[in-house]
Amino acid sequence: MLSYTDPRKADKMTEECGVFGLYAPGSPVARLTYYGLYALQHRGQESAGIAVADGETITGEKGMGLVADVFPDTGKLDQMKGDLAVGHVRYSTCGASAPVNAQPLVVRYRNGALAIAHNGNLINGRLLRQQLEAEGSIFQTTTDSEIIAHLVARSGEKELTAALKKTLPQLEGAYAFILMTPDQLIGIRDPHGIRPLSLGKTASGYVLASETCAFDLIGAQFLQDLKPGEMVIIDRHGLRFERFAPPAEPAMCIFEFIYFARPDSNLLGKNVHLVRKRMGRRLAREHPVTADLVTGVPDSSLSVASGVAEELGLPLEMGFVKNRYIGRTFIQPSPEMRALGVQLKLNPVRQIVAGKRVVMVDDSIVRGTTSLRIVEMLRKAGAKEVHVLISSPPVIAPCYYGLDISSSSELIAARMSIPEITREIGADSLGFLSEEGLLAAVDLPEEGFCRACFNGCYLVKPPEDREAPNWSGAQKNRRCQSVGLHL
């Protein structure tokens, strides 16, 4: 399974999963869900699954790998007949990378069958799990979906929406759920709207997806983003919206704009590529550099790099080429191979960078190891100077919604000053986009965003068993006043 894991990912924010739901009687819902998941594949390559409902039963199929690996031919898909479907692609956030954790989770409970797909991470997941176990629940997976299934089943409510209204307020953290009964599709977004979830319209029904690019692929029209704290119920009576929590401070994860989302998706009505390009322009204005050319680390930083190049009036060049042909399982080079100089995914282009002062644009620095390696590559390829521009502020605090860094000590920017980082990664200069610059580029003044990883100001009190960021309350206080969040 490692084969699908971009080695750079280990040094990236990785809170990702993709969810997709479709209510479209008369359409080939399993096939359309397959295509929808294909559009969301960048959000998770570890496992994939689809469940369909035909008014009476739910049948599902899931497995490890890309959606194309789990459904290698039309056989399984075409047997999955129904009027509605839900799909999931997974990048392991919490929960081991195991077949059993593939989603959608399909369960039976007192009110019948239920399928659940989830993107997010509950902060109080461990606590809820302990409470449920204490009450006699058994767990077969380590997913948050199983927690919600138990809560719904134990709610005592006969109506699913009633059960959800009783249950959801117990959850703390980031979540976007799609639930499916034999005849109903329900979309849910947490009260802060940390994870995205959009609603669209197809020829014969409605569609829910983590990102709008999935609508484009299947020819659906975007209707609206789900409101934080709201659920949408889709069935033969059409659409119905219900609120399960009072309006909370909106706080979508800003890393969706920086890194997670596909450039052709729209978040909060803004096209991601265009936002990233504005980040690039702003970044260049904040950190003007004298250089010969600009290059971005593919693929995530190409939009930003074009903004940087335009602002600096420098040529945008292809400083790296990324190899895209990854089969089902790719044999990683052994250490001996790496010592021989084998470098798999990224190839710096000597003729382009040799003798040049290069502006290298990337989206973030987490541990710093990737930046170090890329600067090194450029030097080896002959770059005279390497100026690093990063389209996000320094990441100084852990993310409790999914980043797989458990301690802030792993974060280079929590340990070092910017000049120290510059030396550490071997750059001639280093510039981070400011929080203000970032927000200006996003250009949604009315919206709030979770930027806890930049400023340690958490929306929700972190769980007690998780390490608290290592700065004093005073510091936090000062930092967080502007955002008005938990200290």
Window 17 to 36, contacts with a second copy (CB under 8 A): 27-28, 31-32, 34-35
| CB of 296 vs a second copy, minimal distance in Å | 11
Return d(Cα 442, Cα 326) in angstroms, integer: 33
Please tell me whether 363 is known to bind a ligand.
Answer: yes
Contacts of 339 (CB under 8 A, 6+ apart): none
Geometric angle at alpha carbon 34, from 30 and 40, rounded to 5°: 140
| CB of 215 vs a second copy, minimal distance in Å | 10
Among residues 17, 94, 213, 480, which one is catalytic? 17
| CB of 218 vs a second copy, minimal distance in Å | 5
SS (H, E, C) 141-160: CCCHHHHHHHHHHHCCCCCH
The binder of a second copy chosen from 69, 249, 286, 292 (CB under 8 A): 69
Binders in 108-147 for a second copy, by CB under 8 A: 108-110, 114, 133-134, 136-140, 146
Catalytic (active site) residue 17: yes
Per CB under 8 A, the segment of 252-260, 343-351, 409-417, 448-456 that binds a second copy is 343-351
Interface with a second copy: number of residues (CB under 8 A): 96
Please tell me whether 362 is known to bind a ligand.
Answer: yes
| CB of 11 vs a second copy, minimal distance in Å | 20
Q: Are 115 and 105 in contact (CB under 8 A)?
A: yes
Q: Are 178 and 208 in contact (CB under 8 A)?
A: yes
Please tell me whether 94 is known to bind a ligand.
Answer: no
Q: Is residue 438 at the binding interface for a second copy, with CB under 8 A as the rule?
A: no
- Best CA proximity match to 444, nearest among 283, 275, 276: 275
CA atoms within 13 Å, Cβ hemisphere of 91? 24
Return d(Cα 435, Cα 439) in angstroms, integer: 6
Q: Is residue 201 at the binding interface for a second copy, with CB under 8 A as the rule?
A: no
**Residue span 155-194 as binding mask against a second copy, x where in contact by CB under 8 A, dash where not:** xx--------------------------------------
The binder of a second copy chosen from 79, 224, 323, 407 (CB under 8 A): 323
Question: Is 138 or 474 the residue whose CB approaches a second copy more closely?
Answer: 138
Binders in 215-274 for a second copy, by CB under 8 A: 216-220, 262-264, 266, 270-271, 273-274
At 384, is the secondary structure helix, strand, or coil? coil
The binder of a second copy chosen from 22, 39, 122, 421 (CB under 8 A): 39
C-alpha dist (Å) from residue 267 to 39, 75, 194, 261: 15, 35, 12, 8
Q: Are 103 and 67 in contact (CB under 8 A)?
A: no
| CB of 377 vs a second copy, minimal distance in Å | 10
Q: Are 258 and 391 in contact (CB under 8 A)?
A: yes
Please tell me whether 300 is known to bind a ligand.
Answer: yes
Tokens at 118, concatenated: 């989830």
The sign of the CA dihedral 452, 119, 247, 165 is negative
**Residue span 85-104 as binding mask against a second copy, x where in contact by CB under 8 A, dash where not:** ---------------x----
- Best CA proximity match to 461, nearest among 94, 16, 124, 14: 124
Q: Is residue 72 at the binding interface for a second copy, with CB under 8 A as the rule?
A: yes
Residue bearing tokens 């009450």: 135
Return d(Cα 44, Cα 95) in angstroms, integer: 14
User: Any idea what DSSP says for residue 323?
Assistant: -
| CB of 139 vs a second copy, minimal distance in Å | 4
Question: Is 92 or 266 the residue whose CB approaches a second copy more closely?
Answer: 266
Residue stretches of the annotated binding site: 253, 300, 362-363, 399, 450, 453
Catalytic residues: 17
Residue stretches of the annotated binding site for [4Fe-4S] cluster: 253, 399, 450, 453
